Amino acid sequence: MTPEPVKNQYEMRDPLSQYPRPPFPRQPQPAPGLASAMDPTPDHGEDSYVGFGRLKGRRALITGADSGIGRAVAIAFAREGADVALNYLQVEDSDAEEVVKLIEAAGRKAVVIPGDLKDEAFCRALVQQAVDGLGGLDILVNNAGKQTAVEALADLSTEQFDATMKTNVYALFWVTKAALPHLPPGASIINTTSIQASEPSKNLVDYAMTKAAIANFTGSLAKQVAEKGIRVNAVAPGPYWTALQPSGGQPQESVTKFGEQVPLGRPGQPAEIAPLYVLLASQEGSYMTGNVYASTGGSLY
């Protein structure tokens, strides 16, 4: 089934043929991976996302913003009128440079803050640099994540377990804690969890654990900060075509058929989930807090 030509995201299309379907070629690359090295190249909304000013004047910090879902959210936020601070690892500079150009082409400000979220001191500095660079903070998107498939628990090292926990859970805690004093009433925190929180794969033990923790963190924090007028939600992607997958997130034999198991028969593209983050960040989502919103291609969260 040949994918349809790219249009703007509001034109009706058949979701079965909208984007590439497996099989895909094997494409191993070292973690954390680059979107530019993927085949097919992911769609982050570069040519299709159209904004309507729903985030005009807002200031957002997005972690893991160089590629994948974070990149798609950064593009969408900028085209909706927000200035964006981008966090990513230094080795992902080439992908991040493309995002900066897209944000600036939308007439918005981009603040780049590369660094390792496993470092608590950096997480605190990240928030302060974002606040200083943007002149404040209205939206926090905790999106960065580490995923490495391991077939047997006996082969899951303490080093990997620790790195996954620190990247996915500790960093979420550190960054959010540092950001809260800067967030005004009307602000929004959006965390990226996963279908793995409710349907864990046997080879993603540590990753699935962290995604369940993120979902619970979201619910607890939402109750805690509701009286401050701050909303907290999470988005749960299913199989999305991002650099996380070929760079160790899936075995290569799974990469070749990635997404075929869901009812729509293909992986989601980052551009398809970005509007959900926009909704949760915008005033249109003013009564939405403490929940997890799934985008899974038909699998139940």
Is position 19 annotated as part of the catalytic site? no
Burial class (CB in 10 A: 0-12, 13-18, 19+), 23: exposed
Burial class (CB in 10 A: 0-12, 13-18, 19+), 17: middle
Active-site position among 19, 49, 88, 207: 207
C-alpha of 69 from chain center: 4
Which long-range contacts does 86-90 make (Cβ < 8 Å, 24+ apart)?
A: 86/62, 86/110, 86/111, 86/112, 86/113, 87/61, 87/62, 87/63, 87/113, 87/114, 87/115, 87/117, 87/126, 87/144, 88/63, 88/64, 88/114, 88/144, 89/32, 89/114, 89/115, 89/116, 90/114, 90/115
- Residues designated as active site: 207
